[in-house]
Amino acid sequence: MADLQRQLTEKLNILLKSTNLLLTEKQKEQLIQLVLLLNKWNKAYNLTSVRNPTDMLVKHILDSIVVSPYLQGQRFIDVGTGPGLPGLPLAIINPDKQFFLLDSLGKRISFIRNAIREIGITNVEPVLSRVEEFKPNYQFDGILSRAFASLKDMTVWCQHLLTEQGLFYALKGQYNLEEVLLLPNEFSVVKVIKLEIPELIGERHLVLLKKC
């Protein structure tokens, strides 16, 4: 385990050099802990199709944290978070922001609760619910979605959770104009950002949307 942890730390440092992200040593350690926990739990709970811990660094950790510079506000909800992606990595590197991680599968929420406890993350609230049934008495500055649903479904299912000035953050592979054309009239695209993720094969885009 110590050897794997050292290898992952070296790899993370190499990957981060190709980005503009500045992380503390503690944040790096927590991200590595998250990968190790994902790797451990994945064997029994099949949380992700990515099996190699080094691949997890690229496809899960870097793929999540590159969104960080674009977050506006203090309170965010990650809908359809799966094993906490992108919510857990973003929470680790943004300790001043609050993240709610929502999923309808108990085993995923169990993993997230365990990760929060073992890693020592204090700004995450797990939510076991379907998104359309989650009716909190507060709203969010941002709604995050990574491979959760189409832009249309994301906006329709989640609109009750967003503040008036809030943004939808849809993490996508290729940018699909047909998806945008299917958006209801009350939503519009604010910006499309091409994300650069070191060593990742394939395109990644961040689509920012708002209520009109």
- Name the pTM for this structure: 0.97
Q: Any known ligand binding at 79?
A: no
Q: Any known ligand binding at 67?
A: no
Q: Any known ligand binding at 161?
A: no
Q: Any known ligand binding at 132?
A: yes
Q: Any known ligand binding at 85?
A: yes
* Annotated domain spans of the chain: 1-211
Of 16, 66, 63, 59, nearest in space to 39 by CA: 59
DSSP letter, residue 191: E
DSSP string, 46-81: ---S---HHHHIIIIIIHHHTTGGG--SSEEEEET-
Per-residue pLDDT of the chain (212 residues; tens, 9 = 90+): 789 999 999 999 999 999 999 999 999 999 999 999 999 999 889 889 999 999 999 999 999 999 999 999 999 999 999 999 999 999 999 999 999 999 999 999 999 999 999 999 999 999 999 999 999 999 999 999 997 889 999 999 999 999 999 999 999 999 999 999 999 999 999 999 999 999 999 999 999 999 98
**Helix segments in 159-211, DSSP class H:** 177-181
Report whether CATH 3.40.50.150 matches the domain 1-211.
yes
